[in-house]
A and B are shown apart, each in its own frame.
Chain A
């Protein structure tokens, strides 16, 4: 079945550092890929998404490119802020128009940004 693997945390960085959180996936067909963010005590919010190979999703300075050849969707940000501290989830959907059986999530990466 489908699966998502992302780097284990916590990841601790200083403010203004460069961020990469790795995500690779296994899926049949052509899944859509997502990054969700969860702030303490809150639900998940969509950060960005990509629906086909070579698409780049971007939002709030974060970017991720859908790489089918390496089955990856790594999250990057050039200069992190303390407010970026949260848990980040990579997810995929095998939905291709015929049904919607939920998202498959990675285990999450806890990001801590120190001032």
Chain B
């Protein structure tokens, strides 16, 4: 049982490049989330999904897109990378019956130069 896995662990992008951050879970949780963590700023919600085929914006969605074609996978897409997207990105999952405890992946550290 791997829990929540994220790839890659680290990535450096040039301005204007695109990339997809992968998130996969094997816990059969229905809810999944993407957060970004900036130094000294806590975590901010980017997008979330309550099940396959359903996604919704969080607090800071601009510059990102998501899809949820399966229960297991919730990729985050950056289309035109900007320096403001330099951050650590965390994927998390939640099973609705567990009182909203969320389980986090190890994170992806992204630098945009």
Contact = CB atoms under 8 A, between A and B. Distances in A.
B45 A106 contact: no
B82 to A, nearest CB: 23
A51 B98 CA distance: 11
Nearest to B58: A102
Interface residues of A, number: 23
Contacts of B53: none
A69 interface: no
Interface residues of B, number: 28
A99 B33 CA distance: 13
A107 interface: yes
B40 A51 contact: no
B43 A105 contact: yes
Nearest to B95: A100
A45 interface: yes
A28 to B, nearest CB: 16
Interface stretch (B62-70, B71-79, B100-108): B100-108
A6 B86 CA distance: 24
B15 to A, nearest CB: 26
A100 B42 contact: no
Given A43-B90, A108-B42, A103 B104 contact: no
A34 B102 CA distance: 10
Given A105-B43, A108-B42, A100 B104 contact: no
Given A32-B99, A95-B100, A106-B42, 18 more contacts: A43-B105, A44-B43, A44-B90, A45-B104, A46-B101, A46-B103, A89-B43, A99-B50, A100-B31, A100-B50, A100-B94, A101-B45, A101-B48, A102-B45, A102-B48, A107-B41, A107-B42, A108-B40
* 5 A-B pairs with least C-beta separation: A43-B104, A102-B45, A105-B42, A93-B100, A95-B100
Interface of A: 4, 32, 34, 36, 42-46, 49, 51, 89, 93, 95, 99-103, 105-108
5 contacts: A34-B101, A43-B107, A101-B45, A103-B45, A108-B40
